[in-house]
């Protein structure tokens, strides 16, 4: 990650997941990331409707010169990148993998703006809608509204190493040779 806002939000999210694949949505407190809220958004898990915005920070809305609540996230992207961003959002939501992407957007005057997009999953709970969060940070910006986002690069971040229960570790310490334990998670 290049942008300091993305690094700060990822560090906070990583702390809140406490070794799990993703934190519960209720674990993230807005006050703890107050200075980042303008760049943060939350999307609903709805692939058929392009992952609509549930909430979008003021700076994200200002970048696009409109309120984004309920609007299709994937529609921000040019047709050539729309399938890729939809796939990335699906992996983040379903596989609970964090992703970071480089994005280029076109300003009204035709100039290009470079942004960094961070996408972070929430843990999936029964009887609650699936959602994900993210942060869109401009690397530099002329102040003009942006459109036609294009993906330039992206990568997924690995899961943390899974924790073993102490009893399982003891079994592994005394085991010799090749052994298979079914159900070991």
Sign of CA dihedral 101, 139, 65, 29: positive
Domain that holds residue 68: 4-174
DSSP secondary structure letter of residue 163: P
Q: Is it the case that residue 167 has pLDDT exceeding 50?
A: no
In tens, the pLDDT along 32-45 reads 999 999 999 999 99
Number of domains forming the structure of the chain: 1
Q: Is it the case that residue 183 has pLDDT exceeding 90?
A: no
- pTM of the entire predicted model: 0.83
Tokens of 145: 């509204």
148 occurs within a structural domain:
yes
Q: Tell me, what's the pLDDT at 158?
A: 75
CA within 13 Å, CB half, 12: 23
Alpha helices in the chain (DSSP H): 4-17, 58-64, 79-95, 166-174
52 occurs within a structural domain:
yes
Q: Check which CATH number belongs to the domain holding 26 and give it.
A: 3.30.450.20
């Amino acid at each position: 990650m290049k942008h300091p806002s993305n690094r700060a939000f990822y560090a906070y999210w990583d702390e809140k997941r406490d070794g799990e694949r993703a934190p519960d949505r209720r674990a993230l407190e807005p006050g703890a990331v107050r200075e980042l809220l303008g760049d943060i958004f939350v999307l609903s898990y709805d692939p058929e409707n392009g992952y609509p915005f549930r909430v979008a920070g003021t700076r994200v809305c200002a970048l696009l010169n409109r309120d984004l609540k309920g609007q299709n996230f994937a529609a921000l992207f040019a047709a050539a990148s729309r399938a890729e961003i939809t796939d990335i959002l699906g992996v983040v939501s379903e596989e609970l993998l964090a992703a970071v992407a480089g994005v280029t957007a076109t300003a009204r005057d035709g100039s290009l703006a470079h942004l960094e997009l961070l996408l972070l999953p929430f843990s999936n709970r029964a009887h609650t809608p699936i959602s994900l969060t993210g942060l869109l940070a401009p690397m530099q910006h002329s102040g003009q509204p942006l459109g036609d986002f294009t993906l330039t690069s992206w990568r997924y971040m690995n899961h943390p190493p899974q924790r073993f229960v102490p009893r399982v570790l003891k079994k592994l310490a005394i085991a010799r040779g090749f052994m298979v334990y079914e159900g070991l998670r």
